[in-house]
């Protein structure tokens, strides 16, 4: 297998949680010898737009990625904004993923509180960043198996 080229898109709204997710993802990707590019966006709602931009760059021939890792965190608050951010970002990501048959690992956490976020983001605990990176690598292998 050739060296996988991976784009990580991470949302920085919760910088410390994002850093933990990225650390977990990088451990997995570096362990597999991946060539990693990273772009950061302000929040989870901006992730689908950045993914769409990356796909447009690939279409234009100015970028080339084999897979994508999306990382960020949405923590429930006192208003319905949580539902909008969690649902709309997931919907947009899923549409792009299916429409373009993207090898993608989705590590966007949707949690009730900061404690849940840390348990999931911490590479020494649930390591959801690492799991998202592994999912992207697994999906690249499946795409390759289908010859697309």
Does 46 show up as a binding residue in the annotation?
A: yes
Does 112 show up as a binding residue in the annotation?
A: no
Active-site annotation holds for 38? no
Give the residue carrying structure tokens 């970028």: 63
Does 75 show up as a binding residue in the annotation?
A: yes
Q: Tokens in use for 107? A: 């590590």
Q: Tokens in use for 17? A: 């949680």
> Contact 99/51 with Cβ under 8 angstroms?
no
Does 13 show up as a binding residue in the annotation?
A: yes
Does 45 show up as a binding residue in the annotation?
A: yes
> Contact 48/93 with Cβ under 8 angstroms?
yes
Interatomic CA distance for residues 32 and 27, integer angstroms: 9
Does 106 show up as a binding residue in the annotation?
A: yes
Q: How open is the CA angle 49-53-57, to the nearest 5 degrees?
A: 170
Does 8 show up as a binding residue in the annotation?
A: no
Q: Tokens in use for 12? A: 């920085």
Does 85 show up as a binding residue in the annotation?
A: no
Catalytic residue among 15, 35, 64, 81: 81
Residue 16, classed as helix, strand or coil, is helix
* Binding-site annotation: residue ranges for (2S)-2-hydroxy-3-oxobutyl phosphate: 78-79, 120
Indicate the annotated binding residues.
13, 44-46, 73-75, 78-79, 106, 120
Return the active site residues.
Answer: 81
Positions at the binding site for 5-amino-6-(D-ribitylamino)uracil: 13, 44-46, 73-75, 106
């Amino acid at each position: 297998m050739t060296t996988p080229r991976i784009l990580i898109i991470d949302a920085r709204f919760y910088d410390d949680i994002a850093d933990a997710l990225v650390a977990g993802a990088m451990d997995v990707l570096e362990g597999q010898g991946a060539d990693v590019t990273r772009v950061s966006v302000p929040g989870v709602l901006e992730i689908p737009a950045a993914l769409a931009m990356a796909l447009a760059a690939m279409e234009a021939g100015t970028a080339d990625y084999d897979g994508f890792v999306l990382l960020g965190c949405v923590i429930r608050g006192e208003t319905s904004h949580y539902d909008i951010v969690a649902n709309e970002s997931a919907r947009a990501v899923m549409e792009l993923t299916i429409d373009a048959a993207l090898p993608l690992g989705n590590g966007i956490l949707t949690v009730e509180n900061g404690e849940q976020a840390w348990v999931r983001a911490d590479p020494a605990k649930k390591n959801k960043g690492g799991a998202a990176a592994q999912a992207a690598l697994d999906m690249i292998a499946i795409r390759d198996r289908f010859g697309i």
